[in-house]
Amino acid sequence: MRTAVILLALMFITGLAWAGMPGEKLFNRKCAMCHIVRGRGGAIGPDLTKVALRLSETQLKARISYPKKVNPDTSMPSFATLENGEMHGLIDYLKTLR
Ligand code: HEC
């Protein structure tokens, strides 16, 4: 009985850890070459370590999907083709950067 409770708790905790990861992974694959977070990454775009203090969720989405709407000359590519789930994961991760 006790083992079952411990097992369930473990499954819950690892589930949470997994749920927190895809956005950060995606960021490291697609964004980190241009953006620094906590001292790691490329310096082509702005440092995003505290981006959630500057930008709302709506602004984040707009900048990721249509960077040229904010700055027509930007070198940041559009990520409007990300799947909904990927975009949500990414935004969830970016919202932790504060
Ligand atoms: C090729 C380089 C490049 C890549 C790849 C890139 N960006 Fe950018 N990003 C930029 C540049 C340059 C800017 C500055 C915007 C401008 O030109 O006005 C920027 C701006 C931003 C901003 C606005 C920051 C602010 O403080 O206003 C956010 C948020 C952002 N990028 C998120 C992302 C995310 C998330 C990804 C990955 C899905 C990504 N970027 C991929 C170059 C890049």
Ligand 1: distance of its center to the CA of 44 in Å? 8
Is pLDDT at 20 greater than 60 in this prediction?
no
Q: Does residue 8 register a pLDDT over 90?
A: no
Question: Which tens digit of pLDDT belongs to each residue from 41-89?
Answer: 999 999 999 999 999 999 999 999 999 998 999 999 999 999 999 999 9
Q: Give me the pLDDT at residue 64, please.
A: 97
Residue 29 pLDDT more than 70? yes
In angstroms, the CA 7 to CA 18 distance is: 16
Question: Nearest residue CA, atom 39 of ligand 1?
Answer: 31
Token look-up 């702005």 returns 46
**Burial classification of residue 36, based on how many CB atoms lie within 10 Å of its CB (0-12 exposed, 13-18 middle, 19 or more buried):** middle
- Closest CA relative to residue 27, chosen from 36, 17, 39: 36
Expressed in angstroms and rounded, the spacing between residue 14 Cα and the centre of ligand 1 is 31
Residue 92 pLDDT > 80: yes
Structural tokens at position 74: 């930007």
